Amino acid sequence: MQTLVDATRRKASALVAGLDPVPSRLPPELRDLSEVFATREFCRDILEAVEPYAAAVKLQAAFFERLGPAGMRLYADLVGAASALGLPVIADVKRGDIGPVAAAYAEAHLGVYGADCVTVNPYMGVDAVVPFLEEARRRNRGGGVFVLTATSNPSSGAFQEATDPPLYEVASKLVAELGRAGGDYPDTGAVVGATRPEVGRRVRELLPETLFLTPGYGAQGGDASGVHPLLDERGGGVLVNSSRSILYAYEDSETGYREAAREAARSARDELRRVGVRV
C-alpha cells in the first residue's frame, strides 16, 4: 500500500482516476478508429490529462477483456504507460478464486501485467485473498490488496445487509485479520462505497487503521460529503475513485476530452480537499 500512500502525499491528492473505457462513450473524433486503437488513444490521453491531479489510476479489467487478446495487450501497455508517468496502478479485477487459481490471477495482474494493487472478492473466504497478498508481499514493491467489503451499487445492500451480522462486517473482520502492518497502513485494504453512510461508519469502526478504496463518488448525484463517515481519526485513510465523471466530462463541456478530463480531475481533487479529506 505504501506506493499508493506515497503517491497521495506527493500529489497532495486523494483522487484515483478510473479508466473505464465504455466503447459507446468514446469521443466522436476517435470513433472512426478500430475499437482497440480508439480505446488506446483515449486511455493514453486521459492518463496524461489526469496525471497532475490524480494520485493513482484504477484500470477496470473488464473493458480490456472485452476486446479479446488485443485488449489484454492494451491493458499491459496502459499499466506501463501509467507507471512511466509515476502513477501507481490499481487493477480493478475483483477476482475471487482459491489456491493455485487465485495464485495464477495474482501472478497475472501483479506480475505479468505489472499492477501495484488489485481488488479481490472475498466470497470464498480467506483462501481467496491470501494468494494475492502473498504475491504482493513476495514482490515487495509497496503493493497491496483491496477486499470488496461494502460496495456502492444499488443492489449491494440487499445482499450485504441481508444477514446478521451483515456481510460487510464479516468481510471487515477478514480484512483486519489478514492485513500486515509495515508502512502507514496495513497491506490489506477495503473497498467501501460512499453511498451508504451508516454502513461506511460501521466499517470504519471495525477497521480504524485500514486504507479504503472508495467508489461511487462523482457519479450523477454523488458528492464528496458521502466520503466523510469513511475517514479515519486523522481525517485520512480514504482513496476516492472517480471514473466516468472524469473520462466523459467532455460530454457536458465545450472543450475537447483531454481538457475536460483534466479539469474534472482537478476539480475532484479540489473538492476532496475542500471537504477535508487528508492525505
Neighbouring residues of 189: CB distance < 8 A, sequence distance ≥ 6: 1, 117, 144, 145, 146, 147, 175, 179, 210, 211, 212, 213
Instruction: Name the pairing type of β-strands 188-192 and 144-150.
Output: parallel
Q: Which of the 8 DSSP states describes residue 156?
A: H
Minimum distance from residue 85 beta carbon to its own copies (Å): 22
Backbone phi and psi for residue 149, each to the nearest 5 degrees, phi listed first: -125, -70
DSSP state of 250: G
Catalytic, out of 11, 58, 94, 173: 94
Eight-state DSSP code of residue 210: P
Select from 8, 39, 160, 172 the one that contacts its own copies (CB under 8 A). 160
Q: Tell me, yes or no, if 94 is annotated catalytic.
A: yes
Min separation Cβ 166 and its own copies, Å: 7
Considering only residues 173-232, where is the footprint of its own copies by CB under 8 A?
174
Nearer to its own copies, 102 or 207 (CB): 102
Number of chain positions touching its own copies (CB under 8 A): 55
Residue with cell 484504477: 58
Q: Report the residue from 52, 68, 80, 208 that binds its own copies according to the rule CB under 8 A.
A: 68
- Cβ proximity of 236 and 228 under 8 Å: no
Residue choice 10, 86, 112, 209 for contact with its own copies (CB under 8 A): 112
Report d(CA 2, CA 16) in Å as an integer. Answer: 15
**Residue 133 has which C-alpha cell?**
497478498
21 vs 245: CA distance, rounded Å:
12
Q: Does 127 participate in binding its own copies (rule CB under 8 A)? A: yes
Q: Does 55 bind its own copies (CB under 8 A)?
A: no
Q: How long, in residues, is the chain?
A: 279
Of 46-54, 149-157, 227-235, 256-264, the window that binds its own copies (rule: CB under 8 A) is 149-157
Stretch that binds its own copies, among 42-50, 55-63, 204-212, 254-262 (CB under 8 A): 55-63
CB of 279 to its own copies, least distance (A): 27
Which residues are known to be catalytic?
94
Under the rule (CB under 8 A), what is the footprint of its own copies? 20, 22, 60, 62-63, 65-70, 72-73, 76, 94-102, 104-105, 107-108, 112-113, 121-128, 148, 151, 153-160, 162-167, 170, 174
